[in-house]
């Protein structure tokens, strides 16, 4: 029996879950397990240096698969609510959608609304769990399949699966692994849940942490902090908002960096360490492996030193 599903998602992280729902088949008949009757994604936005109107990845995939699609500014818009009702979903699946679901939507489908969340809840509730895990130096992250309620990532849990955070992981490298893991876990979890054989369990009361939405200014490095923390910030904020500082009155983007436990000449002081540019920090040195000057392409740290005066 095919379950009618509405999917809500926007960025690249959402794509494996949508693709998995479309591809899921049942037994020898190979009939579709889930009919994606509609997709909800964010509106097109201006992006890039040219400020070009850009569609979210979920829209591009949905158009390619001829799936019905809406892009409301807010889900509370009457036209959006009317369309959701018209689709008659039995289940709503959410993966990095970017909007809060109101009670009217949460109770609309027979089986409720399930969220594919990129952390091991209750750790890192909120908008930026992948970045928060790297910033905190967590040894592992993971994915959670949660039945949504009116809170922010507070709903009961259906399934979880851990994923190690590698020493050189950035948000850009960890996110696709978690996206694929979440899609796989959802497809494994849904049959038992829809059959009533798997009940959501309340989240533990201990271990709750929050990962707030990131802002562009979060990427500015404060060199009074230890170099270890700043190196994590560089990794966590790749690709957005990106780590940066001001040098000679211009923005200097730090694309890749590593910490060194060595004597610091002072927070923010520039020096050369083993042929690479470095900043002194509150503790240790932040050595710049790759950086980008304003108006230029990214370059290795050694190349930057060869073409730059006044670094120190």
Mean pLDDT, consecutive 10-residue stretches, the chain (312 aa), reads 96 98 87 96 85 94 98 95 98 95 96 98 98 98 98 97 98 98 98 97 97 96 98 98 95 98 97 97 98 95 92 84
pLDDT score at 30 = 85
What is the rounded CA–CA span in Å between residue 40 and residue 241?
25
pLDDT score at 19 = 98
Answer yes or no: are the C-beta atoms of 214 and 127 closer than 8 Å.
Answer: yes
pLDDT, tens digit (0-9, with 9 covering 90-100), for 265-278: 999 999 999 999 99
pLDDT, tens digit (0-9, with 9 covering 90-100), for 51-91: 789 999 999 999 999 999 999 999 999 999 999 999 999 99
Residue 304, classed as helix, strand or coil, is: helix
What is the rounded CA–CA span in Å between residue 236 and residue 219?
9
CATH number for the region 3-210 comes to 3.40.50.170
Answer yes or no: are the C-beta atoms of 127 and 212 closer than 8 Å.
Answer: yes
pTM of the model: 0.95
Fold of 216-306: 3.10.25
pLDDT score at 272 = 97
Quick one: which of 262, 294, 300 has its CA closest to 281?
A: 262
3-210 against 216-306: fold identical: no
pLDDT score at 125 = 98
DSSP 159-209: EEEEEEPPTT--HHHHHHHHHHHHHHHHHHHHHHHHTT----BPPPSSS--
pLDDT score at 307 = 86
pLDDT score at 101 = 95
Domain ranges of the chain: 3-210, 216-306
pLDDT score at 20 = 98
Quick one: which of 116, 94, 98, 117 has its CA closest to 106?
A: 94
């Amino acid at each position: 029996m095919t379950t009618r599903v509405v999917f809500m998602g926007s960025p690249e992280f959402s794509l494996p879950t949508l693709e998995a729902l479309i591809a899921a088949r049942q037994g020898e008949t190979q009939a579709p397990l889930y009919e994606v009757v509609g997709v909800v994604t964010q509106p097109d936005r201006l992006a890039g240096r040219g400020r070009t109107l850009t569609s979210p990845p979920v829209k591009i995939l949905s158009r390619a698969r001829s799936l019905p699609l809406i892009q409301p500014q807010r889900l509370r818009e009457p036209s959006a609510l009317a369309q959701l009702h018209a689709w008659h979903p039995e289940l709503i699946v959410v993966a990095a959608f970017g909007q809060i679901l109101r009670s009217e939507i949460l109770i609309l489908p027979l089986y409720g609304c399930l969220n594919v969340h990129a952390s091991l809840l209750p750790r890192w509730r909120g908008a930026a769990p992948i970045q928060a895990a790297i910033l905190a130096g967590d040894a592992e992250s993971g994915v959670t399949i949660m039945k949504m309620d009116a809170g922010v990532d507070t709903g009961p849990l259906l399934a979880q699966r851990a994923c190690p955070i590698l020493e050189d992981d950035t948000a850009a490298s960890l996110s696709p692994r978690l996206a694929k893991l979440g899609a796989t876990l959802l497809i494994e979890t849904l049959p038992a849940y829809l059959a009533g054989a798997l009940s959501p369990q309340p989240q533990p009361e201990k271990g709750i942490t929050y990962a707030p939405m990131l802002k562009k200014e979060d990427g500015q490095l404060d060199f009074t902090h230890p170099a270890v923390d700043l190196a994590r910030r560089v990794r966590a904020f790749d690709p957005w908002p990106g780590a940066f500082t001001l040098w000679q009155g211009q923005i200097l983007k730090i694309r890749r960096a590593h910490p060194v436990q060595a004597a610091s000449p002072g927070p923010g002081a520039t020096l050369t360490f083993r042929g690479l540019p470095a900043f002194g920090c509150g503790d240790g040195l932040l050595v710049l492996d790759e950086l980008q000057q304003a108006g230029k392409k990214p370059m290795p740290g050694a190349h930057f030193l060869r073409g730059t005066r006044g670094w120190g």
